[in-house]
């Protein structure tokens, strides 16, 4: 039985998450359900894509991923089921898949067409669960939808290389639980354009001239602890997903603040790298 994952912006205060799980268990008592996140910022497609893109690859092939972000059905927001990288995704056609599929071409896409048989104003609970359980039982996508090649594209969040390969201009695509700022600049792009040259990273008033491999690499452990520049030290690092991240060492947004609040940077703000 394939694993079914849930990613939503429902939060955990309301009944929505438990209702979706209950509906799955009603149809598939033997199901295995894994929460990826229910704390996505409301309707935040880019944030959801970043989290799902970095989570789904750790699941077995054939896993089924229900995504409840901006999922209300309307003429401009149809529902789709997608086979991508040997995983199934059930979501709205709102640009999410175009972000997740940046490295892979979808093997199959169908526009879900079972809505007439299921009266609902909560599509994640009714439609998405029905589709997920159908796939989990070995059902094909063609039974629950009509093939389509059209997926909505989200543009304007791809880094730009200009000035004759002397500069990369990217943006912040995600702010994590520590207040760290994840950009859309990948290690591969940085290395392909930089070619070992010295550089300067600029994001508002924050400037960096070095990128660390790990957070703790920014700390000089040869210095006595009481004299180290440690808590609150700003740093740039390539995170575990291969994206450039601007961070504060051991930050806490609830007390001393994180990179976002301390640098005054938020979603889609510009981050530039200039090479010498």
**Angle at CA 159, nearest 5°, toward 156 and 162?**
115
pLDDT at position 15: 96
CA gap 9, 17 in Å, rounded: 10
Dihedrals phi, psi of 252, to nearest 5 degrees:
-145, 105
For 197, 199, 234, 235, the CA distances from 209, given in Å and listed in that order, are 11, 6, 11, 9
pLDDT at position 190: 97
Are 127 and 79 in contact by the 8 Å Cβ rule? The answer is yes
CA gap 273, 207 in Å, rounded: 10
CA gap 189, 221 in Å, rounded: 31
Q: At 159, list the tokens.
A: 């880094």
Per CATH, the number for 160-275 is: 2.40.30.90
Domain coordinates in residue numbering, the chain: 3-147, 160-275
One pLDDT digit (tens) per residue for the chain, 276 residues = 999 999 999 999 999 999 999 999 999 999 999 999 999 999 999 999 999 999 999 999 999 999 999 999 998 899 999 999 999 999 999 999 999 987 778 999 999 999 887 777 899 999 999 999 999 999 999 999 999 988 898 876 789 999 889 999 999 999 999 999 999 999 999 999 999 999 999 999 999 999 999 988 878 777 777 667 666 789 999 999 999 999 999 888 888 889 999 999 999 999 999 999
For 63, 164, 188, 217, the CA distances from 55, given in Å and listed in that order, are 12, 35, 20, 25
Are 36 and 9 in contact by the 8 Å Cβ rule? The answer is no
Residue closest to 123 by CA, chosen among 20, 236, 48, 217 = 20
Give the CA radius of gyration of the chain: 21
pLDDT at position 231: 64
DSSP structural state of residue 78: -
pLDDT at position 254: 87
pLDDT at position 156: 62
DSSP 190-239: HHHHHTT--EEEEETTEEES-EESSGGGGS-TTS-GGGS--TT-EEEEE-
E-strand ranges in the chain read 3-8, 32-37, 64-68, 79-84, 87-92, 108-112, 145-147, 160-162, 167-175, 181-186, 199-203, 206-208, 211-212, 234-238, 243-248, 270-275
CA gap 9, 70 in Å, rounded: 8
Q: In sequence order, what are the residues at sequence separation of 6 or more whose Cβ sits closer than 8 angstroms to the Cβ of residue 201?
A: 207, 208, 209, 211, 236, 244, 246, 271, 272, 273
pLDDT at position 123: 92
For 80, 198, 204, 209, the CA distances from 276, given in Å and listed in that order, are 46, 6, 20, 11
For 211, 266, 271, the CA distances from 215, given in Å and listed in that order, are 10, 21, 19
Per CATH, the number for 3-147 is: 3.40.50.10790
């Amino acid at each position: 039985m394939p694993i079914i994952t849930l990613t939503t912006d429902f939060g955990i205060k309301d009944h929505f998450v438990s209702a979706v799980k209950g509906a799955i268990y009603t149809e598939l008592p033997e199901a295995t359900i894994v929460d990826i996140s229910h704390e996505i910022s409301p309707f935040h497609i880019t944030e959801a894509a970043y989290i799902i893109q970095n989570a789904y690859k750790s699941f077995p092939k054939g896993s089924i991923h229900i995504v409840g972000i901006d999922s209300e059905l309307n003429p401009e927001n149809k529902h789709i089921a997608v086979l991508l990288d040997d995983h199934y995704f059930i979501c709205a056609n709102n640009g999410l898949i175009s972000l997740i599929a940046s490295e892979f071409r979808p093997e199959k896409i169908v526009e879900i067409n079972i809505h007439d048989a299921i009266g609902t104003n909560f599509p994640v609970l009714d439609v998405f669960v029905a589709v997920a359980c159908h796939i989990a039982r070995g059902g094909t996508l063609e039974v629950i939808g009509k093939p389509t090649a059209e997926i909505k594209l989200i543009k304007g969040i791809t880094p730009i290389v200009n000035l004759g390969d002397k500069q990369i201009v990217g943006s912040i695509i995600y702010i994590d639980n520590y207040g760290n700022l994840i950009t859309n600049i990948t290690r591969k792009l940085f290395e392909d354009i930089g070619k070992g040259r010295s550089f300067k990273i600029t994001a508002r008033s924050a400037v960096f001239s070095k990128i660390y491999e790990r957070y703790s690499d920014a700390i000089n452990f040869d210095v006595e602890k009481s004299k180290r520049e440690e808590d609150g030290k700003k740093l740039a690092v390539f995170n575990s997903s291969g994206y450039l991240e601007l961070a504060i060492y051991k930050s806490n947004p609830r007390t001393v603040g994180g990179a976002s609040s301390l640098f005054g940077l938020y979603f889609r703000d510009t981050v530039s790298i200039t090479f010498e």
